[in-house]
Structure 1
Amino acid sequence: MPDPSSPAVTLGKKQLLPWFVWLLLFFGTWLAIVISGNHWQTLRDHYGIAVAMIFGSYCAGSTPMGGGTVGFPILTLLFHEPATLGRDFSFAIQSIGMTSASIFIACRRQPVEWPMLRWAVLGSLVGTPLGILFLAPHVPALVIKIVFAVVWCSFGVLHLYRLREITRHEGLAPGAHRFDRRAGLLIGLLAGATVASITGVGIDMVIYAVLVLLCQADLKIAIPTSVILMAANSLIGVATKELTTGLQPGVFENWLAAAPIVALGAPLGAFVVDRIGRTPTLFVVSLLCIIQFFWTVKDEWAALGLLGLTGALGGVLLFNLGFEVLHRIGNRFDRRGLRQNPTAQVAASPLP
């Protein structure tokens, strides 16, 4: 008999009712904004970001990457917009796409590592506003772009040499819950205050790395968990920006054009990837993460030079060394748990 918490189980319209209500409220509000403000020309002027976010929103729902992971390089590298605009757009667009995907995940009762997630959201409530207010304003635009490029290149490298192993995990390793409180809180505080506040993305990748490397988590647990954390972090980021410094000029126009795409695209990604498998998607996205790194270096070569390239490559190496430390610790405690109980396997709860 199939597990009712499995994503493979087909759900009826009744189970998806909260998601349909969300879509009705969102599209009603979006249409009211467009009509009342006569923003039809704005939509035409910014159709490019809407097209780009078709792929971005698919990635947001099917991988541990926020939609801003595509939106940021498109805006900064292709459209040559300021990095601060790319960061604020990431927060804004993910507050729709990742929220939509999170509601869809909850309706489908997909397993989520809720104990760690709760503490990560709590840490983000403190860390992200502190980073936005006290760190991000002092970070130069070039550094924002390089931090983004380094973080996601590191993600790509990790998957190119560990993808087969990561995709074989089932459930959670025995004893994985011992890390819930401390790991979740540190992820929220540190990743929220640093990489997320600077680039608008990244906290989802951090919790994903902890889950798959330290806790040996199944991708069907790790990815939904990372999606929900990025949704919460984006809402915190947008609220903090609106209540303090305000979003960068140009964010609203790009958001207005792309928001309808991501509201549907991110949940669609979560649905489609269950049919085609996560390995092909993660492999392609990992390659793109590495490509955007070298694209950024080429675009900023005049400012970076050989010294800057060396520093950026050093950052990728440092991140992957950190991943290796997590992997080795996870392997040790996984083997210890299996020796004590060879049949042990921890499952994540589909609902909090």
Structure 2
Amino acid sequence: MVAFYAVWVFLVFVLGNWTQVKEHWPMAVAMALGSYAAGSTPMGGGTVGFPVLVLLFDTPASLGRDFSFAVQAIGMVSASFFLFARRQPMAGSMLKGAIWGSLLGTPLGIQFIAPLVPELWIKLAFAVVWGSFGILHLYRLREIISHTGNGSLHPARDFRIGLVLGALAGAFAVAITGVGIDMVIYAALVLFSRVDLKIAIPTSVVIMAFNSLVGVVVKSVIGDWHPEVYGNWLAAAPVVILGAPLGVFIVALIDRKLTLLVVALLCVVQLAWTCYAERAALGTLGLLAATGAVGACLLVFEWLRSLGRGFVHGNGNLQDTTVGPSDRAPHTSLSLLG
């Protein structure tokens, strides 16, 4: 944090960017909530930043996507450092698989898939993915929060699952909307592996932090940043670097159910808002397609849940692969990247 604030002060006051910070102060206010959500839920800070920019401020969807990369590279990385320092248990095998898969999928998606997706469909893809995720939590929340322990984690299987999901989510979710791999890995953990939220959410935070860094590097190398990202980032970054780890800390003290419920409602609201705001451009067929896409996402979630229930019932003595402090103290959080 000391290093970050030193650089931020240099950028703002020495290089004379204070005017940009003042112009974009509403983004800093919005990301106070977004950064808390990033640290306390499986939904990254871009989950708030994207709809605020695109729906509230009526900016291009590509700005929302690029801003998600930039702001999460500060907030979620900060939250990840805090999680590592606390030796928070994580699903190490699935996380490692997702990291390697996304190293392939995210750069390829940014370069070859994202440029082909129109602005309207970027906006709709975000709304559908997160809207369906919110709906899932509204009717499965009690079951999700009831999971305890390590569920049915299994090293070799989970690595393969993470590898495939990381590549697909990196290419078709993160590259297009700036978020999504955190939700995908979280869904696999709570619906299929049926692990405790205290394991699933930190794992999702770390994989989204990693993908945000990948997105920043790729965007910087190819020079494909939206020009409005910098001002919004300058305003929001000093807030999110504190807010995301604060979310990790606070959610350990309060009922996680309430936080998930509020964020789930926000996801559903932004889905309805997007469909209403774009009703003219979408037309009847477009709205039907969006509804069908939400239904398809929910069917996939239920399929994962069904597989997980059958697997747990048939394999009740699976090995714990959680990386945590209990009996693996020599293996710090950095071992996840090994």
Question: What range describes the TM-score normalised by the shorter chain of this pair?
Answer: over 0.9
1:76 counterpart residue number:
54
Distance (whole Å) between structure 2 residues aligned to residue 179 and residue 69 of structure 1: 29
Question: Percent of aligned positions with the same letter in both sequences?
Answer: 56
Tell me, yes or no, if structure 1 residue 192 matches structure 2 residue 165: no
**What amino acid is the match of 1:349?**
V
- Farther-moved stretch of structure 1 (140-149 vs 275-284): 275-284
Tell me, yes or no, if structure 1 residue 142 matches structure 2 residue 120: yes
1:225 counterpart residue number:
203
1:10 counterpart residue number:
none
SS of match in other structure, 2:249: helix
In the superposition, the TM-score normalised over structure 2's length comes to 0.94
Tell me, yes or no, if structure 1 residue 305 matches structure 2 residue 292: no
**What amino acid is the match of 2:22?**
R
1:38 counterpart residue number:
16
Measure how far apart 1:245 and its partner are.
Answer: 3.4
Q: 1:101-130: per-residue Cα shift (whole Å, max 9, x none)? A: 000000011101111111111111110000
Distance (whole Å) between structure 1 residues aligned to residue 249 and residue 321 of structure 2: 21
Measure how far apart 1:301 and its partner are.
Answer: 1.1
Q: 1:195-218: per-residue Cα shift (whole Å, max 9, x none)? A: 110000001000000000110011
2:34 counterpart residue number:
56
Distance (whole Å) between structure 2 residues aligned to residue 140 and residue 174 of structure 1: 40
- Farther-moved stretch of structure 1 (284-293 vs 173-182): 173-182
2:130 to 137, 141, 152: 152
CA contact (8 A) 1:119 1:185 kept: yes
**What amino acid is the match of 1:31?**
V
In the superposition, the TM-score normalised over structure 1's length comes to 0.91
Tell me, yes or no, if structure 1 residue 208 matches structure 2 residue 186: yes
Distance (whole Å) between structure 1 residues aligned to residue 252 and residue 157 of structure 2: 28
Distance (whole Å) between structure 2 residues aligned to residue 210 and residue 188 of structure 1: 11
CA contact (8 A) 2:130 2:267 kept: yes
2:222 counterpart residue number:
244
2:292 counterpart residue number:
314
List gaps (5 residues or longer) in structure 1. 1-22
Tell me, yes or no, if structure 1 residue 110 matches structure 2 residue 84: no
Distance (whole Å) between structure 2 residues aligned to residue 294 and residue 164 of structure 1: 24
**What amino acid is the match of 2:31?**
M
Structure-2 change in CA distance of 1:175 and 1:81 (3 Å): closer
Measure how far apart 1:220 and its partner are.
Answer: 0.3
Tell me, yes or no, if structure 1 residue 47 matches structure 2 residue 47: no
CA contact (8 A) 2:173 2:179 kept: yes
Measure how far apart 1:172 and its partner are.
Answer: 2.0
Q: 1:22-63: per-residue Cα shift (whole Å, max 9, x none)? A: x11111111111112211111110000000000000000000
1:8 counterpart residue number:
none
CA contact (8 A) 2:74 2:240 kept: yes
Distance (whole Å) between structure 1 residues aligned to residue 211 and residue 29 of structure 2: 24
1:11 counterpart residue number:
none
2:320 counterpart residue number:
346
SS of match in other structure, 2:225: coil
What is the count of residue pairs matched by the alignment?
A: 326
1:257 counterpart residue number:
235
SS of match in other structure, 2:44: coil
After superposition, the CA RMSD in angstroms is 1.1
Tell me, yes or no, if structure 1 residue 286 matches structure 2 residue 264: yes
**What amino acid is the match of 1:231?**
A
SS of match in other structure, 1:96: helix
Measure how far apart 1:346 and its partner are.
Answer: 2.9
Measure how far apart 1:336 and its partner are.
Answer: 1.1
Measure how far apart 1:284 and its partner are.
Answer: 0.8
CA contact (8 A) 1:124 1:233 kept: yes
1:161 counterpart residue number:
139
**What amino acid is the match of 1:224?**
P
